Structure 1
Amino acid sequence: MTTATTGLIDRYQNYRVRRWLVHEQRMAGMLPGWRTRRRRRALVVAVAASIAVLFVIGVLSAFDIRWAPLLWLPGAAVFLPSWTMLRIASQGQDNAPAETLDEWEIAQRNAARSVGLAITQSLALLPVLYLFVAGAVAPEADAFHIAYAGASLTLATLLAGGCAPAMILGWTRPDPEPEP
């Protein structure tokens, strides 16, 4: 029986906090050498570069370059480990429940999320405009390549916006306090 005080959203938030605390405890000892600001910034650059490569691959696909889709594999091979390492090194604070953060961390997280949303909205216009123009100007063009290029561009823009909060926090957060 749910009451007004323990509704579905409250129960989900409590579950999220419990799950987050378990996840945080499990990741606490991982990659200690990568938690410095310098190393996190290197990971941010690697993530940004790999997303840029994925976007360029989408642009190359739009120009019907046949070998361009093969480059997704190396781009993803760089993106996935660097993104995972960045999330671990920055303690995944971009996605932490508010109950596990202090006021300053909540303000930073919310500001980074706001920038991530703006990036997503701005960059997503590029593939949408490409699809509009390609469909209107060249309706006889190969629909497969137009769709693949549009999907590639859209995925790269969504990754950029979705990863932006963690990248911002990873770049701006100070070095962690040394443990005694």
Structure 2
Amino acid sequence: MPEMNLVERYQAHRVRRFLANSEKWPHMLPGWRTRQRRRILVIALAATFALMLAVGVLCHFFERAPLLLLPVYTLFFAAWTALQIVSGCQGDAPSGTLDEWEIQQQNAARSTALTITQWLVLIPVTYLIVGSVVTEGTHTTMAYTGGVLTLTTLMMGGCSPAMILAWSRPDPDPESDEFPMEAA
């Protein structure tokens, strides 16, 4: 057997880690695995992103506004973790764990997410470029505001594949291990 290169070893490690972690997920949040409930989590995640953007804008005007990020990030992590559990982390699953249809779906979602990320990041970058020219670097909260907005838009893009897949995938088959209804 030929020796594996660094990338192949890393991919094999990702597959092993994903499979080990996926053994923990099937029985967590069983009542939230339907398409309707997953869509609620996607909407909740989108709402946390809207709150993050609002706080980012508030950071421009108020020096203490960044304190509002703590509860918003708490909401984000709760919604994101729940969405990852109920969708089986399909947005970032290694290809070695997916069948051909799932890989095709994942690649389409990732392609869309890349476009979303590129366009969204233009907003804070434009803010920073135009703002630094207009204010000549005298605005004290501009860098922090730009950082919060950039982080938020990158998070939106990074979460987009999982959100797209959770929104569009059908309900799991009631006969499969993926949908343990006895605990619902």
Pick the TM interval, shorter chain.
Answer: over 0.9
1:71 aligns with 2:71: no
Q: Which runs of 5+ in 1 are unaligned?
A: none
The number of aligned residues is: 176
Q: Please give the TM-score of this superposition, normalised by the length of structure 2.
A: 0.90
Q: Give the drift of 1:142.
A: 2.9
For 1:14 and 1:77, the matched residues in 2 are separated by 32
- Structure 2 spans left out of the alignment, 5+ residues: 177-184
Query: How far apart in 2 are the matches of 1:44 and 1:91?
Result: 14
Give the alignment of 1:101-120 within 5 angstroms.
101-120=98-117
Tell me the residue number matched to 2:179. none
Secondary structure, aligned partner of 1:26: coil
Q: Secondary structure at the match of 1:52?
A: helix
Q: Which runs of 4+ in 1 moved over 3 A?
A: none
Q: Distance in 2 between matches of 1:103 and 1:28?
A: 21
User: TM-score when scaled to structure 1?
Assistant: 0.92
Deviations 1:36-65 (CA, angstroms, capped at 9, x unpaired): 111100000000010111011111212x12
CA RMSD of aligned residues (A): 1.5
Match of 1:141 among 133, 138, 141: 138
> What are the equivalent positions in structure 2 for 1:16-165 lying under 5 Å apart?
16-62=14-60, 64-143=61-140, 145-165=141-161
Q: Secondary structure at the residue paired with 2:115? A: helix
Is 1:172 matched with 2:168?
A: yes
Q: Give, as a single letter, the amino acid of the residue that structure 2 aligns with 1:176.
A: P
Aligned-residue offset at 1:70: 2.4
- Cα displacement (A) at 1:67: 4.2
Identical amino acids, percent of aligned pairs? 52
CA contact (8 A) 1:52 1:156 kept: no
After TM superposition, give the deviation of residue 140 of structure 1 in Å.
4.7
